[in-house]
């Protein structure tokens, strides 16, 4: 019995090793075939230390889940090219008086002027809220082969070894890099470019559907998501009046008539005056408030305190806050915060 178990364990280890070699071979052949098709075929090289550092930096950034770390691990020229491409699309759209692509990429509450001020790092970090990269932490990453690609790119096949407390299964990864001075940096992954194109075109990507749980097994119900319930008439009346006041530049009315008495009670007169003056002097502030009120109309709030408080979830709308609260005082609705 012990001998059979030993043979079985050895056989399983051998099968895993053969699968690993097969996967490396398939990846290698695919890369060489792609290079040959583009006229840039060449023998695979060893992965240099500088190339390996770039791959390690990128894989570690993806595993961390930190979009800013991922941005710093990507070649700056790739990020700047992405920034210029997206700005060009949004500016052309704005000239036509439209905002569909901007809403899909950044949320309806994000003004174009704010996007234009973003650095390439900031733009990617903001976009990443709607993107999905899956990463695995590694204790060590070792190079297997470097296959030349187009325009100075090199496709690295590396082996990721798990940390000691995460088992013994090694994973083969593919990271594409290109020169960055005397070093190397990862190029913008084609998966990210594909997800951005999905957003621009309004397609529901498989990655996004899987993340949100929208993918269902065969035979499951395919009914459309339930539309938001209509807002209470009192809430609609508040939104209409507050929007009208801001559109006319009447910031005193917005803060003194449509903000909750509870808010005004805990806000000092000096602080309230400062809010009114900021609203008067800043077109951007008024536009932000107007965008928020308009977005609320298409959402369904979560009611609290026996229906006296309405909390709107604004995450993913491109606004600097993720919730907006209304409350009812003496049967009248006000903006609570």
Tens of pLDDT, residue by residue over 22-81, are 555 555 554 444 444 444 445 578 999 999 999 999 999 999 999 999 999 999 999 999
In a domain, 308, yes or no: yes
Among candidate residues 146, 180, 197, the one where a domain is terminated: 197
Question: Is 177 found in the same domain as 28?
Answer: yes
How many distinct structural domains can be found in the chain? Answer: 2
Do 177 and 245 lie in a common domain? no
Collapse the DSSP code of 300 into the 3-class scheme (helix H, G, I; strand E, B; otherwise coil) and give the result.
Answer: coil
Contact (CB, 8 A) for 57 and 135: no
Same domain? For 185 and 269 the reply is: no
Shared-domain flag, residues 154 and 45: yes
Q: Residue 55: CB partners within 8 Å, gap ≥ 6?
A: 47, 141, 143, 156, 158, 173, 175, 177, 186
Reported confidence tier of residue 122, pLDDT bands at 50, 70, 90 = very high
Is residue 219 over pLDDT 70? no
Residue 13 pLDDT more than 80? no
Q: Is residue 297 part of a domain?
A: yes
113 and 179 both lie in a single domain: yes
42 shares its domain with 139: yes
Is position 56 within any domain? yes
In a domain, 4, yes or no: no
How far apart CA 145 and CA 250 sit, in angstroms, is: 66
Shared domain check, 172 and 26: yes
What percentage of the chain exceeds 70 in pLDDT?
A: 80
Task: Give tens-digit pLDDT for 83-97.
Answer: 999 999 999 999 999
Of the candidates 197, 222, 251, which is a domain's last residue?
197
Q: Which residue has the higher pLDDT, 106 or 220?
A: 106
Three-state DSSP state, 226: coil
Indicate the average pLDDT of the chain. 84
Q: Are residues 238 and 188 in the same domain?
A: no
- If asked whether residues 174 and 237 sit together in one domain, one would say no
Establish how many alpha carbons lie within 13 A of residue 274's alpha carbon, considering only the half-sphere containing its beta carbon. Answer: 5
**Could you tell me if 247 and 184 lie in one domain?**
no
Is pLDDT at 19 greater than 70 in this prediction? no
Same domain, 40 and 136: yes
215 in any annotated domain = no
SS3 148: strand
Residue 10 belongs to some domain of the structure:
no
Domain that holds residue 308: 233-335
- Looking at 174, 197, 220, the residue that finishes a domain is 197
Please, is 96 exposed, middle or buried when counting C-beta atoms within 10 Å of its C-beta (0-12, 13-18, 19+)? exposed
Say if 208 falls within a structural domain: no
Q: Is residue 207 part of a domain?
A: no
User: 184 has which bridge partners?
Assistant: 179
- 237 and 178 in a single domain? The answer is no
């Amino acid at each position: 019995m012990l001998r059979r178990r030993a043979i079985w364990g050895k056989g399983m280890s051998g099968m895993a090793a053969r699968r690993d070699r097969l996967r490396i071979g398939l990846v290698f052949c695919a890369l060489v075939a792609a290079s040959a098709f583009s006229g840039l075929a060449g023998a695979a090289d060893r992965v240099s230390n500088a190339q390996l550092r770039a791959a390690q930096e990128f894989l570690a950034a993806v595993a961390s889940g930190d979009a800013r770390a991922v941005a710093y691990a990507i070649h700056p020229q790739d990020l700047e090219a992405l920034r210029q491409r997206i700005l060009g699309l949004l500016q052309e759209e704005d000239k036509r008086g439209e905002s569909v692509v901007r809403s899909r990429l950044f949320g309806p509450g994000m003004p174009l002027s704010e996007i234009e001020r973003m650095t390439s790092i900031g733009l990617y970090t903001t976009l990443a809220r709607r993107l999905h990269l899956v990463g695995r932490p590694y204790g060590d990453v070792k190079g297997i082969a470097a296959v030349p690609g187009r325009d100075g790119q090199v496709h690295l096949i590396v082996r990721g070894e798990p940390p000691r407390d995460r088992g013994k299964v090694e994973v083969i990864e593919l990271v594409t890099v290109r020169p960055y001075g005397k070093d190397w940096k990862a190029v913008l992954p084609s998966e990210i470019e594909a997800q951005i194109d999905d957003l621009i075109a309004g397609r529901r990507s498989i990655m996004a559907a899987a993340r949100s749980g929208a993918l269902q097994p065969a035979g499951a119900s395919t009914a459309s998501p339930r539309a938001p319930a209509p807002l209470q008439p009192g809430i609609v009346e508040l939104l209409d009046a507050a929007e009208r006041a801001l559109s006319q530049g009447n910031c005193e009315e917005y803060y003194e008539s449509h903000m909750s008495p509870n808010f005004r009670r805990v806000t000092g007169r000096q602080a309230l005056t400062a809010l009114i003056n900021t609203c008067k002097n800043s077109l951007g502030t008024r536009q932000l408030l107007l965008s928020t009120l308009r977005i609320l109309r298409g959402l369904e709030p979560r009611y609290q305190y026996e229906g006296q408080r309405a909390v709107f979830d604004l995450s993913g709308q491109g606004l600097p806050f993720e919730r907006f609260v209304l409350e009812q005082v003496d049967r009248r609705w006000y903006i609570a915060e």
